[in-house]
């Protein structure tokens, strides 16, 4: 059950990142999607959505690996004295 929940949690940011890549691709090929009046705005929104999706995904994996002790020493949390 925990694996299914983790999959669902990671599916949403993965779809966000894919949507961001699609917006960037459409901007590069000159296809303006309706809610955006300008290409530059579509590009900026695509980059923001891509960074947010990948950032959440990377943070989730880093947090999971920290709990399991599978990260290098420089990425491990410092123990408070």
Domain boundaries, given as residue ranges, for the chain = 9-69
**pLDDT, tens digit (0-9, with 9 covering 90-100), for 13-28:** 999 999 999 999 999 9
SS3 call for 37: coil
pTM for the predicted model, two decimal places: 0.83
Spatial CB neighbours of 69, under 8 Å, sequence gap ≥ 6: 76
**pLDDT, tens digit (0-9, with 9 covering 90-100), for 51-79:** 999 999 999 889 988 998 888 888 888 77
SS3 call for 77: coil
């Amino acid at each position: 059950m925990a694996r299914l929940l983790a999959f669902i949690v990671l599916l949403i940011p993965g779809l966000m990142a894919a949507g961001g890549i699609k917006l960037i691709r459409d901007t590069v090929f000159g296809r303006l999607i309706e809610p955006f009046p300008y290409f530059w705005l579509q590009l900026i929104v695509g980059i923001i959505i891509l960074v947010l999706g990948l950032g959440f995904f990377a943070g989730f994996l880093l947090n999971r690996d920290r709990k399991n002790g599978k990260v290098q020493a420089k990425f491990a949390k410092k123990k408070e004295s």
